[in-house]
Each structure stands twice: as structure tokens, then as C-alpha cells.
Amino acid sequence: MILEQKELDTDLISDTCAYAVLVPEEGGEGLPFLYLLHGGGVSRNFLTNLQPQLEGAIDDGVIDPLLIATSSAGMS
């Protein structure tokens, strides 16, 4: 899977929202999307830390291929 780290400008929070998304090597068109929520104060690096476990679960057939994203929205 490819880990992409990006930023999104929005009026919904006071600052730019940094986020990370895991995309399968083949692309993500038509795949389910999981917005992974974490506790306040945790960053998008949460997804970086989980990447090996998530890739293993997909490779082992425990979960189907999907797009996975999480944000660094602080205490929004």
C-alpha cells in the first residue's frame, strides 16, 4: 500500500487539516473507504504506525482491500 500525507484547507477547523491515506498499489477506485478515528491530540502518524498491521490483515484476507484515512485535526 502507498501512504500519502497531504493537507486540506477548510473553514470547518481553525487550521489546515493534515491527513494521511493508505491507497492500494492498484489504486482505490471503487473500494470501500474507512475513516479511521483516533483520540484527540493524536496525529495522522497514527496511520503510519498501523500500516504494517493493516497491510498484513489485507494480505492475509482478514479484511478486504480498502482506502484508509485519518487526520491530524487536533482537538476539533
pLDDT reported for residue 73:
65
Q: Which domain holds residue 38?
A: 2-72
User: Using CB atoms within 10 A of its CB, is residue 65 exposed (0-12), middle (13-18) or buried (19+)?
Assistant: middle
Distance CA 18, CA 9 (A): 9
Lowest-pLDDT choice from 31-35, 39-43, 49-53, 67-71: 39-43
**Is pLDDT at 5 greater than 80 in this prediction?**
yes
pLDDT value for 51: 95
Q: What is the per-residue pLDDT for 76?
A: 54
Q: How many domains does the chain have?
A: 1
- Candidate ranges 40-44, 46-50, 52-56; pick with highest mean pLDDT: 52-56
Kindly tell me if the per-residue pLDDT of 53 is higher than 60. yes
Q: Which helix (H) or strand (E) holds 52?
A: helix 45-59
